[in-house]
Amino acid sequence: MADGDGLGEAATAAASPPAPAPGLSPSLGWRERLRAGLAGVPLRLCENLAAVTVFLNSLTPKFYVALTGTSSLISGLIFIFEWWYFHKHGTSFIEQVSVSHLRPLMGGTESSISEPGSSSSTRESETSRQNLSECKVWRNPLNLFRGAEYRRYTWVTGKEPLTYCDMNLSAQDHQTFFTCDTDFLRPSDTVMQKAWRERNPPARIKAAYQALELNNDCATAYVLLAEEEATTIVDAERLFKQALKAGETIYRRSQQCQHQSPQHEAQLRRDTNVLVYIKRRLAMCARKLGRIREAVKIMRDLMKEFPPLTMLNIHENLLESLLELQAYADVQAVLAKYDDISLPKSAAICYTAALLKTRTVSDKFSPETASRRGLSTAEINAVEAIHRAVEFNPHVPKYLLEMKSLILPPEHILKRGDSEAIAYAFFHLQHWKRIEGALNLLQCTWEGSFHHVSVYPKKELPFFIHFTAGLCSSTAMIALLTHEFPEIMGVFAKASNKKKKNCINPWRCGMPEFLKKEKLLLSGRSFSHLL
């Protein structure tokens, strides 16, 4: 019986929970532990702030002088870099980095997502497309011939008229227009593919002759010889006519095989580009040789036959030829078709529209008369057209008014940049001079909309530039005052520290409401020393 009683007591002891150790409070639940941890946060915060206060009080005025001097130096460097970057690129570097890199990381792009069919999505896509078209480097639609025109400058001055970057972009264009994935099927096209990548002009010309030896109907070989070997426009036109004959034959052959495979479709696109390029250059040859009506006919036929190729900007060649014919009604008709918000603007379109408005009032315009009686409706329209053109590209008036000397236009231009202004003025200055009083009206009105940075529409200086300028100025002023009046600045710093001390204890500034309710739950602790 004793053994049975002992076994029963042992079982009861095993089933019952262990007794808490002496001196320890019963275990708390997770809610109580969380509340206890939250209650300890203000205490640790007070200790950390007190340690920081002791450290700041131990600092000497020399440390503050060094700190403000270093910060002013860094702020000055940031300000100078921001100013240089803004004048060079037309945008703030910090703003660009924050919008392009930091905003996606912080999830800023999600808020701008809208439905594909919504009006906001359409406006954003149009704006982005316009910005991309303005930042893109475009091929100059009126570019000169290398052999017949650019080389003359080299003969006279011994200098190269084109930069390496410009020629490199042209080489990329040639490879895009005149090559495709099926070039390996024809030996002549394989040779020309290497020729377009050559940097040395004699090597390119030699490769073109090798391609003609392999295939006498190689259109791209004739194109290269017409562009770079021909020393006169007449020779270039002769070679382009040979290229046209070969190009039309190849184009008809590609049209018949275009549906056989994707490779044949790519070959048709390449042959189409070659044919359009040849006809366009033939039109430019006719324009330079005085056969302007023939040039206009070729350009109109091109625009009707290949309407999708608006990226080549053939309408700008047509505008210049029609201005030479003084066919202003036809110029207005072309502008009405291509001066559309959905198409990328250009200096040729904006300034030609301004020229047509100016032509109606320029012969009778006088600044003295306008100041006395005011501007008429036609004069207001002309002035507004000039302002819109100057707003788009502010560099053009200085070249039209011959305030800056002209140079040979490059083969590539940046929309709304100085390169586009040079290219426009080089070919259109004569049209402005032909209309009496047009340059006079331009001279009287262009400065009202002039701005150094070609940004359309005009933008104010970004906030970051103002912020850096203010930060730089304030830190430099503090450093100067601390260096000149260390005692006064020391007293001011101590007064600021004392003011911070008064609110350094969060319990004095006001106990959090949840702690007021929960302090009674924590037994064994007193909050009286904090109140």
- Determine the Cα–Cα distance for residues 430 and 400; give it in Å rounded to an integer: 9
- Determine the Cα–Cα distance for residues 334 and 322; give it in Å rounded to an integer: 10
Contact call for residues 151 and 230 (beta carbons, < 8 A): no
pLDDT at 24: 43
Q: Which two tokens stand for residue 386?
A: 């000039």
Burial (Cβ within 10 Å: 0-12, 13-18, ≥19) of residue 258: middle
- Residue 107: CB atoms within 10 A of its CB come to 8
Instruction: Give a three-class secondary structure readout of 506-519.
Output: CCCCCCCHHHHHHH
Q: Percentage helix, strand, coil, to 5, in the chain?
A: 70, 0, 25
pLDDT at 343: 59
- Determine the Cα–Cα distance for residues 345 and 452; give it in Å rounded to an integer: 19
Contact call for residues 439 and 401 (beta carbons, < 8 A): yes
Q: Which residues of 171-203 are buried (b: 16+ CB within 10 A; e: fewer)?
A: eeebeebbbbeebeebebbebbbebbebeebee
Closest CA to 306 of 251, 260, 226, 261: 251
Tell me the CA distances in angstroms from 528 to 48, 519, 525, 531, one per residue in order.
Answer: 21, 11, 9, 5
Contact call for residues 192 and 211 (beta carbons, < 8 A): yes
pLDDT at 281: 94
Closest CA to 417 of 396, 439, 388: 396
pTM for this structure? 0.61
At 138, which helix (H) or strand (E)? Answer: strand 137-139
Contact call for residues 419 and 412 (beta carbons, < 8 A): yes
pLDDT at 295: 93
Contacts by 280-285 with C-beta closer than 8 Å and gap 24+?
A: 280/312, 280/314, 280/317, 281/223, 281/226, 281/227, 281/236, 281/240, 282/237, 282/240, 282/241, 282/244, 283/317, 283/321, 284/142, 284/317, 285/233, 285/236, 285/237, 285/240
- Determine the Cα–Cα distance for residues 197 and 176; give it in Å rounded to an integer: 11
Task: Parse the chain into domains and list their residue ranges.
Answer: 138-327, 486-531
Alpha helices (runs of H) in 185-327, residue ranges in sequence order: 187-195, 201-214, 219-228, 233-257, 262-288, 292-305, 314-324
Contact call for residues 237 and 285 (beta carbons, < 8 A): yes
Residue 433's identity, in one-letter code, is K
- Residue 483: CB atoms within 10 A of its CB come to 15
Q: Which two tokens stand for residue 217?
A: 């109907």
Residue 120's identity, in one-letter code, is S
Residue 227's identity, in one-letter code, is E
Closest CA to 148 of 208, 66, 226: 226
| pLDDT, one tens digit for every residue, the chain (531 residues) | 444 444 444 444 444 444 444 444 445 566 666 666 666 666 677 777 777 777 777 777 777 778 778 887 888 888 888 888 777 766 677 776 766 665 566 554 433 333 434 444 444 455 544 544 555 788 899 999 998 999 888 888 888 888 888 888 888 888 888 888 777 778 888 899 889 888 888 999 999 999 999 988 899 999 999 999 999 999 999 999 999 999 898 888 888 877 777 777 888 888 888 999 999 999 999 999 999 999 999 999 998 888 766 667 888 999 999 999 999 999 999 888 876 655 568 889 999 999 999 888 877 776 666 666 767 788 888 888 888 888 888 889 999 999 888 899 999 998 888 899 999 999 999 999 998 888 888 888 877 665 555 444 445 556 666 777 777 778 778 877 777 777 887 787 777 767 655 554 544 444 445 444 444 444 444 444 444
pLDDT at 52: 76
Tell me the CA distances in angstroms from 322 to 216, 300, 327, 384, 483, one per residue in order.
Answer: 37, 11, 5, 24, 71
pLDDT at 4: 47
- Determine the Cα–Cα distance for residues 63 and 17; give it in Å rounded to an integer: 63
How many residues make up the chain in this entry?
531
pLDDT at 241: 94
Beta-carbon contacts of 451 under 8 Å, excluding residues fewer than 6 positions away, are 391, 394, 458
- Determine the Cα–Cα distance for residues 365 and 228; give it in Å rounded to an integer: 47
Pick the CATH number of 138-327 from 1.25.40.10, 1.10.30.50, 3.40.50.2000, 1.10.390.10: 1.25.40.10
Q: Which two tokens stand for residue 117?
A: 């069919």
pLDDT at 11: 45
Closest CA to 300 of 287, 317, 288, 285: 317
Q: Using N-to-C axis directions, what is the helix angle for 347-359 and 377-392, rounded to 10°? A: 160
pLDDT at 208: 92
Return the ∠ at Cα 510 (arms to 508 and 513), rounded to 5°. 140
- Residue 518: CB atoms within 10 A of its CB come to 15
